């Protein structure tokens, strides 16, 4: 595909988000930002049910002044349908509060194709509506001579529709994928996502799609354009989409453990996948973020958080109780004022302090070229199931 069609659409890695990984603050996160650019699947809902604590946490953050805009890589439903589903879960939402990867894909196509151009649709009603709103013409057959193929998540895809997309791409149509998420969380477990379908088409066509969803620049620009955010935080459950989107755009991020990412995956995260803040669920928006401090007196790869010190020595990660009182302070925002948000109890713990300390210790070792291959058997709360990033002996 000519470079003028893809210029500035694929976000390249850049320096870490301006706040860095696992930053602390004395104020609730809801007090620090104007808009939460919030993922849906695995963060607000799982399939047809709300994630526990999500509706009330979003409402409480709103009362603190943090507006929520729902940014989803799932292109299946139009924004009004997404908002209706959310309100059915008890989550406050309007159609204008929803930004989808279908909108991002359609906006990119419309910016590079003539008005009324025919685009073969391999997706659901959300993509169809987005194409129409951008002045493009959705078609369903390669015989309609489409100039592009747009592909988004649709659980009702058939072999016949996949074949039509394959014919069109092989005939020279520009292939745009709304997102590359390999999986999607449902109430029954983890199911194939749009990236899995893209892998099938890639094998059938020997072509690569332009991806417009998170973590790519097109999706972040669409989110900022539609939300009007000036000081946003990205909230999500995926390291390779939500957190990497923040890294690429220098936007602070909050990772929650209600979706696909596990503590072991976070422990093994490369720099682009390390969040600014960490919480068990969306209640983390209502609390200060614990500070993680380097503890050089313990060792070169040691960090403390709360009542725990994590230490990497000789390739082994271990913990010790912090009896020196160093781990209870907060971070770089100290002195900006006490927390005023609902539920903003500075002493409220979420059981993740030992994990926070472990991540910083392991990341510092990894960045210096050291591998962690063993984790001590005596482990604190929240770390019982951790697996060593380099594999156990």
Q: What is the pLDDT of residues 217-237, one digit of tens each?
A: 999 999 999 999 999 999 999
Mean pLDDT of all residues in 143-156: 97
The pLDDT of residue 14 = 39
Which one of the listed residues 41, 154, 242, 353 is annotated catalytic? 41
Structure tokens at 70: 């729902």
CB pairs under 8 A, 24+ apart, for 321-326? 326/293, 326/295
Q: How far apart are CA 273 and CA 17, in angstroms?
A: 11
Options 3.40.50.150, 3.30.70.250, 1.20.1250.20, 3.40.50.1000; CATH for 102-211 is 3.40.50.1000
Which one of the listed residues 39, 181, 237, 322 is annotated catalytic? 39
SS3 call for 3: helix
The pLDDT of residue 292 = 96
pTM equals 0.86
Residues of CATH 3.40.50.1000 domain(s) within the chain?
14-98+215-286, 102-211
Tell the residue number behind the tokens 């072999």, with chain if given. 159
Residue 34 designated active-site: no
Q: How far apart are CA 30 and CA 60, in angstroms?
A: 9
Residue 41 designated active-site: yes
Structure tokens at 332: 């770089």
pLDDT digits (tens, 9 = 90+) for 248-266: 999 999 999 999 899 999 9
Q: Which fold has domain 14-98+215-286?
A: Rossmann fold (3.40.50)
Q: How far apart are CA 310 and CA 74, in angstroms?
A: 38
């Amino acid at each position: 595909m000519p470079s003028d069609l893809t210029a500035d659409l694929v976000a390249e890695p850049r320096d870490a988000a301006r706040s860095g990984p696992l930053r602390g603050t004395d104020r609730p996160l809801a007090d620090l930002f104007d808009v939460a650019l919030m993922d849906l699947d695995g963060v607000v809902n799982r399939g047809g049910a709300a994630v526990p604590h999500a509706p009330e946490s979003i409402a409480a953050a709103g009362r603190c002044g943090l507006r929520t805009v729902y940014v989803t890589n799932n292109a299946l439903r139009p924004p009004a349908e997404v908002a209706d589903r959310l309100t059915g879960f008890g989550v406050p939402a309007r159609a204008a509060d929803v930004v989808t990867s279908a909108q991002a894909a359609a906006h990119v196509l419309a910016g590079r194709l003539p008005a009324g151009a025919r685009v073969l649709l391999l997706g659901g009603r959300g993509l169809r509506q987005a194409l129409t709103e951008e002045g493009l013409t959705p078609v369903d057959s390669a015989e309609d001579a489409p100039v592009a193929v747009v592909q988004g998540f649709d659980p009702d895809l058939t072999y016949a529709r996949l074949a039509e997309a394959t014919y069109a791409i092989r005939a020279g149509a520009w292939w745009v994928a709304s997102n590359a998420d390999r999986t999607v969380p449902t109430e029954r477990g983890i199911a194939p996502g749009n990236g899995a379908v893209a892998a099938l088409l890639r094998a059938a066509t020997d072509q690569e799609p332009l991806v417009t969803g998170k973590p790519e620049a097109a999706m972040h620009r669409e989110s900022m354009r539609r939300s009007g955010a000036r000081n946003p935080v990205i909230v999500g459950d995926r390291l390779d989409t939500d957190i990497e989107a923040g890294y690429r755009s220098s936007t602070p991020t909050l990772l929650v453990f209600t979706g696909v990412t596990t503590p072991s995956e976070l422990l093994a995260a490369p720099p682009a996948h390390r969040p600014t803040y960490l919480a068990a669920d969306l209640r983390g928006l209502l609390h200060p973020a614990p500070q993680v401090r380097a503890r050089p007196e313990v060792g070169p790869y040691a960090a403390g958080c709360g009542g725990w010190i994590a230490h990497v020595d000789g390739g082994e990660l271990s913990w010790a109780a912090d009896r020196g009182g160093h781990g209870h302070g907060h971070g770089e925002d100290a002195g900006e004022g006490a927390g005023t948000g609902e539920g903003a109890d500075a002493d409220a713990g979420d059981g993740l302090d030992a994990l926070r300390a472990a991540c910083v210790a392991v990341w510092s070792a990894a960045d210096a070229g050291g591998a962690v291959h063993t984790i001590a058997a005596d482990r604190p709360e929240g770390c019982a199931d951790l697996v060593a990033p380099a594999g156990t002996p």
